């Protein structure tokens, strides 16, 4: 029987821990920080179907597909932007800067409007998707990290294990779920995307995505994206994986990261 990813990971850990020495002691103390080694949820890896140009100067925060084009938000004070891009070439077709006081975060599409989250400004800025013209702002409490829509609500992360569901017209909180793998909360939830009835989320600083039930926060599976780094230029000054977009019409998944020079179209390998 061909071993799966989880079995191989556990075997490697067992071999490493069986060797005496400082490295094994360190790993024994840190292993509890790796939720996927304790998970009962299924594991998957990815294969790369296509790799497209991505501007390596972009501090990517949010990603989505609308009418066959990529919409992307970036962060940092005074540098935050919302862009519309051609997928195949990576060319920026339209770009607007967020007001300088805002630090841009995740984005979501709802009824032909783009909602742009901000980090600590407690503000959602709303743009018309067809023109990127600002048409409104809504307020919330706390930090904003990732944002997506399930077709009825806007779903927000704040760097914890909590995902909150918001009314798209007022941004009032409708309900919240706590993401757990078994009894273990999964924190550091960052960029999110609603994919075929599930919530997919980047784990901040990790090369993993977690699949989540929107009903109760249960972890449905893990997706290992670490292999994507082998497609990046050697020595590239990249930051963390961040950015998930699902094209519902073509059932394509795109991912990238902060300062990554590639946008990847991936396929899940179970």
SS in 3 state form for the chain? Answer: CCCCHHHHHHHHHHHHHHCCCHHHHHHHHHHHHCHHHCCCCCEEEEEEEEEEECCCCCCEEEEEEECCEEEEEECCCCCCEEEEECCCCCCEEEEEECCCCCCEEEEEEECCEEEEEECCCCEEEEEECCCCCEEEEEECCCCCCCEEECCCCEEEECCCCEEEEECCCCCCEEEEEECEECCEECCCEEEEEEECCEEEEEECCCCEEEEECCCCCEEEEEEECHHHHHHCCCCCCCCCEEEEEEECCCCEEEEEECCCCEEEEEEEEC
Which residues share a beta bridge with 139?
123
Residue 210 has pLDDT above 90, yes or no: yes
Residue 67 has pLDDT above 70, yes or no: yes
Residue ranges per structural domain of the chain = 1-33, 44-269
Contacts 24+ apart (CB under 8 A), 4-10: 4/43, 5/43, 5/44, 5/45, 5/224, 6/36, 6/37, 6/39, 6/43, 9/36, 9/37, 10/37
* Confidence band for 37, pLDDT divided at 50, 70 and 90: low
Mean pLDDT of 59-64: 96
Rounded to the nearest angstrom, the gap between the alpha carbon of residue 162 and the centroid of all alpha carbons in its chain is 14
Q: Which stretch of 23-27, 30-34, 39-43, 220-224 has the lowest confidence by average pLDDT?
A: 23-27
Instruction: Work out the burial of residue 96: count CB atoms within 10 Å of its CB; fewer than 13 is exposed, 13-18 middle, 19 or more buried.
Output: middle
Q: What percent of the chain has pLDDT over 90?
A: 83
Tens of pLDDT, residues 100-118: 999 999 999 999 999 999 9
Give the torsion through C-alpha atoms of 113, 114, 118, 123, to 10 deg: -10
Mean pLDDT of 42-65: 96
Please identify, in words, the CATH class of the domain defined by 44-269: mainly beta
Which pTM does this prediction carry? Answer: 0.86
Q: What percent of the chain has pLDDT over 70?
A: 86
């Amino acid at each position: 029987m061909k071993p799966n990813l989880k079995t191989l990971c556990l075997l490697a850990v067992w071999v490493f821990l069986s060797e005496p020495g400082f490295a094994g002691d360190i790993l024994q103390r840190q292993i509890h920080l790796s939720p996927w080694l304790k998970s009962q949820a299924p594991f998957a890896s990815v294969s790369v179907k296509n790799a497209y140009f991505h501007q390596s100067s972009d501090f990517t925060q949010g990603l989505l597909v609308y009418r066959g084009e990529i919409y992307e938000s970036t962060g940092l004070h005074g540098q935050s932007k919302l862009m519309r891009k051609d997928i195949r070439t990576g060319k920026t077709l339209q770009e607007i800067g967020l007001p300088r006081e805002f630090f841009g975060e995740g984005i979501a599409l709802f009824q032909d409007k783009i909602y742009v989250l901000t980090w600590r400004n407690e503000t959602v800025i709303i743009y018309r998707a067809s023109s990127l013209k600002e048409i409104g702002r809504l307020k919330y409490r706390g930090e904003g990290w990732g944002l997506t829509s399930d077709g009825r609500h806007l779903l927000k992360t704040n760097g914890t294990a909590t995902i909150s569901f918001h009314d798209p017209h007022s941004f009032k909180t409708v309900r919240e779920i706590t993401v757990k793998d078994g009894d273990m909360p999964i924190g550091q939830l960052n960029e999110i995307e609603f994919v075929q009835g599930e919530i997919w989320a980047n784990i901040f600083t990790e090369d993993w995505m977690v699949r989540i039930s929107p009903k109760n926060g249960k972890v449905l599976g893990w997706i290992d994206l670490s292999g994507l780094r082998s497609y990046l230029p050697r020595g590239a000054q990249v930051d963390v994986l961040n950015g998930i977009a699902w094209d519902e019409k073509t059932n394509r998944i795109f991912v990238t990261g902060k300062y990554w020079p590639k946008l990847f179209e991936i396929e899940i390998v179970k």
